[in-house]
Amino acid sequence: MELDPQVARRAGLLHDIGKVIPESEDRSHELVGMDYCKRYGEHEIICNAVGAHHDKPPKTTLYAYIVQICDAISAARPGARNKDEEKYFERLQNMEEIAKSFGGVSRAYAFKGAPVSGSDNGPGYA
């Protein structure tokens, strides 16, 4: 199997790009991402891997299968897609408390799992 690791890496890095593009609210993030990649000149191999990582359109290369498998493995890890909202907010509060336990940190706010704090010396990362 002669695959280029740089192509696989690029496809993996771009596979969810459609999630951050505003028009993805009306269409699936995979298809929005595929169109975005085409618009900006990505190779068809990358475009297909981005667009097909959730089965549609059909996969045309092994790279699309690799991205789909890696995406599934990532989604299956503990806490990756926690649907329990109460637990999620509890975890955010715990992260804030941990951040505030460090000297010089007076405030801490957790957003999407990334703790961001304000210290006496100004804002920064906990």
The pLDDT, as a whole number, for residue 81 is 66
Q: What is the mean pLDDT of residues 6-27?
A: 88
Q: What is the mean pLDDT of residues 12-37?
A: 89
Q: Write out the E strands in the chain.
A: 105-111, 114-119, 122-125
Give the full edge-to-edge strand order of the sheet including 105-111. 105-111, 114-119, 122-125
- The string of pLDDT tens digits covering residues 53-112 is 888 888 989 999 999 999 998 887 776 665 666 676 777 788 888 888 888 888 888 765
Instruction: Report yes or no: 115 and 99 within 8 Å, Cβ to Cβ.
Output: yes
Tokens 């975005």, residue? 36
Say what the pTM is: 0.62
- The string of pLDDT tens digits covering residues 108-125 is 887 653 444 444 444 443
